[in-house]
Amino acid sequence: MRDHLLSLIKADFPALDIRTSRLATNGWDNDVVIVNEEYVFRFATEPHTPLDVEMAVLNRLRDKTTLAIPHVEFIGRSATYMGYRMIRGSQLTTPIYRALSASQRTMLARDLARFLVEVHRALSVQDAVSLGVRHENARSYLEEAMTVVHRIDDQNARSFVETTLRECEEIVAASGLESFLYNDLHGDNVGFDVERGCLNGVYDFGDIAIGDIHREFGPLYRLDKELLEATVACYEQMTGVSLSLRRIVMIQRLDRLADLAMLFGDTGNPEVQKVFEEINEWRNELDIYAQT
């Protein structure tokens, strides 16, 4: 795989002096090659992956965000891919977050909120439509998730999932504030400076969409609830927009159940077990943020 992708890069950009290369952990929609520990080359794994739309959005967002985002320098000629200078830093994990000082946690929440505010203000829904950004189809997630219920053997887990999906159906029916969305704000997509305890930047704009603004914050629920709460509070303060933590949580749970339905037959995929572990955690916090 690496050799094939590397041959494409060499053919398309012969002036690029490639000294080292490695295949990074594959994403859901892209294969990634790191060149010289300096450049990231992302190759679309599916024909429908809209890299052209992502590149158009990144160009529109250039110099609009305080945190670093990818600046596309290479556009593939012989295949669908792009390359940009690597954003330095580690992934942000729950243990890393919990090891931060109180002031570092406050700064992190503020930086995440400011990033979302800047992205949302830089691209209106109309602008996003003009660039070809897709509308998120929340009902499709619901329909996908419903297919997994009868496949869950544990009766208690199945009953909980059924109850969860009934509430999700009500949420989907009551549309939320529509916005352009970065749509993938989890710890794998940021460069975090562990030594300094701060963010360097955000990358992987492959899931950009138009949809319910609450969807934007859901991945933070999986990372740490305190970080979710603090980021939402900062966002509300910066924008004057009122958000529902319960809606955020339920949209994220729906997304994860849709993931489970899609991957259920792939028994070797660790993501399947992760979702079942999350379901058990959700059962222990059934009514979290129920009044918000």
Whether 171 and 208 share a structural domain: yes
The CATH number that applies at residue 43 is: 3.30.200.20
Enclosing domain of residue 225: 94-283
pLDDT tens sequence across 200-258: 999 999 999 999 999 999 999 999 999 999 999 999 999 999 999 999 999 999 999 99
- pTM given for the model: 0.93
Whether 268 and 209 share a structural domain: yes
pLDDT tens sequence across 133-154: 999 999 999 999 999 999 999 9
Residue 208 dihedral angles phi and psi, to the nearest 5°: -50, 145
Whether 206 and 62 share a structural domain: no
Of 66, 85, 104, the domain-final residue: 85
Whether 103 and 58 share a structural domain: no
Flag whether 173 is in a domain: yes
Whether 102 and 56 share a structural domain: no
Of 85, 105, 127, the domain-final residue: 85
Whether 44 and 182 share a structural domain: no
Whether 44 and 178 share a structural domain: no
pLDDT tens sequence across 50-97: 889 999 999 999 999 999 999 999 999 988 899 999 999 999 999 999
Flag whether 6 is in a domain: no
Of 35, 58, 85, the domain-final residue: 85
Whether 277 and 225 share a structural domain: yes
Number of domains in the chain: 2
Flag whether 14 is in a domain: no
The CATH number that applies at residue 124 is: 3.90.1200.10
Flag whether 242 is in a domain: yes
pLDDT band at 170 (very low <50, low <70, confident <90, very high): very high
Whether 37 and 176 share a structural domain: no
pLDDT at position 280 is: 94
Flag whether 227 is in a domain: yes
Mean pLDDT of 25-34: 76
